[in-house]
C-alpha cells in the first residue's frame, strides 16, 4: 500500500508540474510582451519601416536580441503559443506513464482504468468534478511552494 501512496504522490506532483508549466509560461510570455510594449513606447517606433516586418524565426530572434520592440513582442507571442504545446507534451508523458503501468501484471487493470479515464474525459470533454473545498486545498498547496519554496505534499500528515 505504501508503494501506491508514493505513486499517487508522484502523479499529483506531475499534475501540479503541468499546471505550473501553464502558469509560468503565461507569466513569462506576458513579461516579454510587456517588455516589448514598453520598448515600443520608449522608442516610439516598432523598430521596422512601415512595410517591413520579420516573419522568419531566426530573424525574429536576432531582432529581439537587438531589442527591436516588435520582434520582442513576437517572441513573447511565440512563447505564449508554445506554452500549451509544452503542456500537451507533459500530458502525453503522463499518458505514456499510465500505459507503461499496464505492462506490469498486477497493475494492468489499474493502468487500463487510468488510460480509460483519460480517454473518457478527453472524448466527452468533461471537467473534473472537484468540490470547492478540494479546489481551495489544491490551490493553497500550489501557492505555498511559489511563496515559501519547496514542496509541501510530503510534509502533510498521513492518516
Q: What is the pLDDT of residues 93-116, one digit of tens each?
A: 777 777 776 666 666 677 777 778
Tens-digit pLDDT profile for residues 48-87: 777 777 888 888 889 888 888 888 999 999 999 998 888 8
- For the beta carbon of residue 70, count every other beta carbon within 10 angstroms: 20
Going through the chain in order, the beta strands assigned E by DSSP cover: none
- For the beta carbon of residue 5, count every other beta carbon within 10 angstroms: 10
By the 10 Å C-beta count (0-12 exposed, 13-18 middle, 19+ buried), 91 is classed as: middle
Amino acid at each position: 500500500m505504501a508503494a501506491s501512496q508514493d505513486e499517487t504522490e508522484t502523479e499529483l506532483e506531475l499534475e501540479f508540474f503541468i499546471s505550473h508549466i501553464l502558469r509560468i509560461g503565461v507569466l513569462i510570455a506576458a513579461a516579454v510582451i510587456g517588455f516589448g510594449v514598453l520598448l515600443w513606447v520608449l522608442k516610439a517606433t516598432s523598430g521596422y519601416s512601415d512595410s517591413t516586418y520579420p516573419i522568419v524565426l531566426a530573424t525574429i530572434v536576432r531582432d529581439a536580441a537587438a531589442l527591436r520592440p516588435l520582434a520582442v513582442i513576437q517572441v513573447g507571442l511565440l512563447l505564449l503559443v508554445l506554452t500549451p504545446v509544452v503542456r500537451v507534451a507533459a500530458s502525453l508523458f503522463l499518458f505514456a506513464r499510465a500505459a507503461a503501468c499496464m505492462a506490469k501484471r498486477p497493475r494492468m487493470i489499474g493502468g487500463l482504468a487510468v488510460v480509460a479515464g483519460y480517454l473518457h474525459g478527453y472524448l466527452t470533454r468533461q471537467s473534473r468534478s472537484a468540490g470547492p473545498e478540494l479546489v481551495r486545498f489544491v490551490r493553497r498547496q500550489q501557492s505555498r511552494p511559489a511563496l515559501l519554496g519547496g514542496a509541501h505534499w510530503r510534509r502533510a500528515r498521513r492518516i
